[in-house]
Structure formats: structure tokens, C-alpha cells
Amino acid sequence: MMFTVVVGMLLPTTEAIPWRVMVFGPLGIALVAGAAAAINHLVDQRIDAIMARTRGRPLPRGALDGARVFAFATVMGFAGMALLTVFTNPLCAMLTFASLVGYAVVYSMFLKHATPHNIVIGGAAGAAPPLLGWVAVSGQMDPGALVLFLIIFIWTPPHFWALAIHRRDDYARAEVPMLPVTHGVAFTCGRILWYTVGLVMVTVLPFFIGMSSWPYFIGALILGARFIWFAWRLRSDSKLAMPTFRFSIVYLFALFALLLGDHYLQGMVSV
């Protein structure tokens, strides 16, 4: 997450970014994200105790109590918001707070248990980091910032559904209506494939809006073809769920690294 924040900060300009923004912007965003995660742990402590993936978290194993977690989240949230307000700009602070509410309240308390499309709708909060980084530097939501947001927004469902396929029994026991539980593995694999195809189409937008050049465009297509290959094979072998999930993480990191490398390559060529 923090890598995408930093990339988002570096993409809107070729000039030096004030060190206070470069240091305290990511730190503020990280603190607010930590607060959101702590609240999520607090809200999900019952189902976390049921699921193998999460039963080792501090609350289910009794290492922390709810009061301490809430206090920790409150301090982290206020500290992060203070840093963003002082060292970035009001729009960045406002959008970061909206992301906190979106993840910790809207997703964790309501969407997660209300609909099998929870991760699609709730993914908006998780897609915010590069947009927040961009806004921290530029002070405005340019088309490039929205494209970065859209990339992670479309990437989130195939990324998380692959994990949900692998952990579907856990989600069923915890009565969380994830798509593989409510609609089956075959249906979910089909959705993963179509979302992945859509993701590849979205990832070439930086090239078409002049945000990146040919090296990024070619690299994005190569990475996208590999992701589609994983998604296609998953349809016939659900045991590939975790390899697909792991590749999705590598994919996103590599894609943003390509964006950053291409950005500085363009800067060197223009000089």
C-alpha cells in the first residue's frame, strides 16, 4: 500500500517534492490506514476467531482487549489526520478520512456481511492510497490520480476473490457471504477472469492520456497477459487460487514500478 502512495506522490511532477510532504504525507496516510485496520480487527474479532487465516490476530488470541485496540486506533487516526492537515493539504486530509470511514465503517460494519459483492463496493477505500499520494503533492484530483485509483479498484476483486476461493470454508463457517460461498467457485472464477481482462484494459489508460510512454504500455500488456493466463487456468483448477492471489500482489507492485520507472525515463529523455 505504501509503495503505491509513494508512486502516486512522484508521478504528478518532475520537480523536487518538499521533504516535509514526502516524509509526513506517507506517514500520515499510513497512520490513518493503521487506525482503519485496527478498527477492522475490533469489528471482526468474532469471525477472526473462527477463521484459520485470522485466528492468530491479537484480539482472538487474547493478547489485546477491545478497549486498548480502540484507544490505539483513535490515537493513530488523530495523529495521522493531524500530520496530513499540517503538512499536505485539506483535500488530501479529507479524502484520507473518507477512506477511513469507507473501510472501517461502511465495509467492515455493513458491506462485508450484507452482500457477496462486498469487496467490489468496499474496494473503493482500498484503492485510495495512490490517489491520496497524488493529491498530497498536487492538491487536486487530476485524471492521472483517478486512473491510479481505478487500477487498484478493478484489481481488488480478482485479487481478493482468489484468496476467498482458497479460504471459502473459513468464510462459510464465519457466515461471511463471499462470492465463492454464495455463488460457487466456478462462478467466481469466471468473474475473476472478466475482471482481470477489464483490469488490463484499464492499465493501458496511462499511455492513452499521456501519463506514460511505450515502455510502460508494453510492460503493462506483458504483465496483464500473465495475469489473464493465471485467471484462465484457475477456471479449470481451483488449486491455483493461491498462486493467482500471490501473483496478483507481484503484478500490482510491478505495474506501479513500471509507472514510476517510465515517468523518470520520460523525464530523462525530455532533458
Residues 149-178 pLDDT 10s: 999 999 999 999 999 999 999 999 988 999
CB 164 within 8 A of CB 101: no
pLDDT exceeds cutoff 60 at 270: no
- What mean pLDDT do residues 36-64 have? 90
Instruction: Decide if 31 contacts 76 (C-beta within 8 A).
Output: yes
Write the burial class of residue 164 (CB in 10 Å: 0-12 exposed, 13-18 middle, 19+ buried). buried
Residue 98: the pLDDT is 95
pLDDT of residue 164: 95
Percent of the chain with pLDDT over 90: 78
pTM for the whole thing? 0.93
Q: Which residue, among 74, 214, 207, has the nearest Cα to 151 in the 3D structure?
A: 207
Q: How far is 174 from 128, CA to CA, in rounded Å?
A: 28
Q: What is the mean pLDDT of residues 120-127?
A: 86
> Tens digit of pLDDT for each residue in 56-108?
989 999 888 999 999 999 999 999 999 999 999 999 999 999 999 999 888 88
Q: Which three cell numbers stand for residue 132?
A: 491520496
pLDDT of residue 68: 94
At residue 125, the pLDDT reads 86
Q: pLDDT tens-digit profile of 229-259?
A: 999 999 999 999 999 999 999 999 999 999 9
The fraction of the chain above a pLDDT of 70, given in percent, is: 98
Give pLDDT, residue 1: 87
Kindly list the structural domains of the chain, giving each domain's residue range(s) and its CATH number in brackets, ordered by start: 1-141 (1.10.357.140), 158-271 (no CATH)
pLDDT at 208 over 60: yes
Average pLDDT of the chain, as a whole number: 93
* pLDDT > 60? residue 197: yes
Q: At what angle do helices 241-270 and 214-234 cross, to 10 degrees?
A: 170
Return the amino acid letter for 148: L
> How much is the pLDDT for 269?
64
Nearest Cα to Cα of residue 170 among 60, 83, 39: 60
